[in-house]
Homo-oligomer: A and B are copies of this chain.
Amino acid sequence: MTKKDEFDLQDFLPYLLNQAAEESSMAFQQVYKGRYGMLRTEWRVLFHLGNYGQMTAKEIGTRAKIHKTKISRAVRKLEQRRFLTRTKDEQDRRVEHLTLTSFGQAAYRDLHSVAQTYDQKLSALFPAAEAKMLRYMLRRLAGSE
């Protein structure tokens, strides 16, 4: 309230992170939503499968910290729209392995290239060393290292 209150909302890291995340994902959302009618979680699942290859729902959830119900619904939709297929694990039949169809892979490649371009555009806001530092700091804040 007072002026000597040195802590401004604009300096609060969770707030800044949220604003930056929102801004950057909104721009990209238009692409996957517009071209493929995907929701955020669906896009994230697709990107994981495209990036890492065959995975289970659990693995995606753990790696991306997405709740399993969200994954479950995203997977169902992606399957219905022929982006991926499921195959039951032979050893452990609770587990399902998710694989992109060729259609899914094409969508991944398309979105991947847009993402890459967009990422370069964002990175270009800063000198290369700083952009690299930023990524490192974000990873630490996300708790993944």
Which positions in A face B, CB cutoff 8 Å?
1, 5, 7-25, 28, 44, 47-48, 50-53, 64-65, 105, 112, 115-116, 118-119, 122-123, 125-126, 130, 133-135, 137-144
Contacts and interface: CB of A to CB of B under 8 A. Distances in A.
Contacts of A141: 20, 23-24, 122, 125
A25 B18 contact: yes
Given A23-B65, A119-B7, A17 B138 contact: yes
A130 B137 contact: yes
Nearest to A16: B138
Contacts of A25: 14, 17-18
Given A1-B53, A7-B116, A112-B7, A122 B20 contact: no
